[in-house]
Amino acid sequence: MPTIADVMRTELIEVAPEDTLGEVAERMTAVNVGAVVVKDFGRLIGILTERDMLKAMAERVHTSEARVRQWMTEEPITTTADMDVDEAARLMLANGFRHLPVLDESGQVTGVISLRRVVAATTAATKTA
């Protein structure tokens, strides 16, 4: 079974809690990612996803004024690169998340894994088994 290291996205977008949703949306769109990690003084404090952005838009907030801090998921559940993708899928489904930050041994963010990538890897592994 593949591990998170095999399928995670390592091109990170890091944002600050005081960045605006509009600024972050532009960055997410430019590189086609569904989630960004939120750091404060180099420490992971949250994750902001496209679902969070949709919630903000549904409430008709002004994205040029609304701050990441108001819409991010604080202290997100994380994973490690050596976790099996099927275990990551269970973790995501049990907690209702589609993206998880991936941490190394020192607690630094090394990537983000999406449910889409987990499902694709699990499906591919099942076909070859």
Inter-residue contact 78 to 101 (CB < 8 Å): yes
- Is there a contact between 62 and 40 (Cβ–Cβ < 8 Å)? no
Better pLDDT: 119 or 71: 71
Edge-to-edge order in the sheet of strand 43-49: 14-15, 35-40, 43-49, 73-74
- The residues spanned by each domain of the chain are 4-128
Residue-level pLDDT at 124:
76
Instruction: Report pLDDT for 87.
Output: 94
The topology under which CATH files domain 4-128 is CBS-domain (3.10.580)
Is 90 exceeded by the pLDDT of residue 19? yes
**If you average pLDDT over residues 26-38, what whole number do you get?**
96
- pLDDT confidence of residue 114: 95
Q: What is the mean pLDDT of residues 96-116?
A: 95
The pLDDT assigned to 1 comes to 80
pTM of the model: 0.91
Q: What is the mean pLDDT of the chain?
A: 94
pLDDT at 123: 81
Per-residue pLDDT of 34-71, as tens digits, reads: 999 999 999 999 999 999 999 999 999 999 999 999 99
What's the rounded Cα separation, in Å, for the pair 111 and 108?
9
SS3 117: helix
